[in-house]
Amino acid sequence: MSVKLIAVDIDGTLLTSQRQITPEVFQAVQEAKAAGIKVVITTGRPIAGVTNLLKELHLTEAGDYVITFNGALVQDVASGQDLVKETLSYQDYLALEYLARQLGVHMHAITKDGIYTANRDIGKYTIHEAQLVNMPVFYRTPEEMKDKEIVKIMFIDEPELLDQAISQIPSDFYEQYTLVKSQPFYLEVVAKTVSKGNAIIHLAEQLGFDMTETMAIGDEENDRAMLEVVAHPVVMENGNPEIKKIAKHITKSNDESGVAYAIRKWALK
């Protein structure tokens, strides 16, 4: 059965180490679109951090979709309509903000419109994230967060400090939320039912596609869920060794246009 939907991660996958889309990747995406394949950017980033890439890849037309916040938000790109939106409650925010303080790591919450931190000493990785995804940063006390529609929370800090903190997170947090490490300095927290995999399943159902007609291309732990649900899981050569274990195919690295190679070899065959 042919591939009808390809979910593509961004960092370490779609983009080179210089954060560029190569001409080869651009052309392969256009070839896939011309063949009627839905190419769906699937990322932990918020929508603001994806908009320019969608425009660059010509994925802003009617019938184009995007999955953001690690699956918490699925949208029709042209209309902006939400197909899936799963948020965290204010009580979730308070519990996670208190946990971050207990663990001694920086933390911020992300809405559709901005990044909010209760850390007076704003962490450098919060600034890094804001620059990466083109979003403003706001300092707000926990009491000022009651009316915010929070889609994702991130624990962010130096890798050694973050790893130490992760080892101390009580098990009940893993029962209540989905926690995934997307970078050495990022631990992302979303609602328990949220994952890139669940988002792809939902979108495939909406489009009338069988899961045997799906492919995903990724490189890191936060791609695991989508790689496990699709029929054709593809991992980048530069990917996490543990994630490579669940791959059906290993493609070239992100600096070698691995997404283009995967599309042409296993989807446009």
- Please report the beta strands in 72-201, taking only residues with DSSP state E, as ranges in sequence order: 73-76, 82-85, 106-110, 115-117, 137-139, 152-156, 177-183, 186-191
Would you say residue 66 has pLDDT above 80? yes
In Å, what is the CA distance from 236 to each residue of 3, 152, 259? 19, 26, 8
State how far the Cα of 108 lies from the Cα of 154, in Å rounded to an integer.
5
Is 70 exceeded by the pLDDT of residue 243?
yes
Q: Which one of 9, 64, 219, 223 is the catalytic residue?
A: 9
Determine the average pLDDT of the residues in 81-96.
96
Give residue 1's pLDDT: 54
Residue 64 annotated among the catalytic residues of the structure? no
Model pLDDT, residue 182 = 84
Domains and CATH numbers, the chain: 5-85+194-267 (3.40.50.1000), 90-190 (3.30.1240.10)
Mean pLDDT, rounded, of the chain: 96
3-state secondary structure 202-255: HHHHHHCCCHHHEEEEECCHHHHHHHHHCCEEEECCCCCHHHHCCCCEECCCHH
pLDDT confidence band for 188 (50 / 70 / 90): very high
Tell me what percent of the residues of the chain surpass a pLDDT of 90: 94
Res. 216: pLDDT tops 60: yes
Q: Which H or E element spans position 42?
A: strand 38-42
Q: How many other C-beta atoms lie within 10 A of the C-beta of residue 126?
A: 20
Average pLDDT on 260-266 reads 98
- The pLDDT assigned to 269 comes to 79
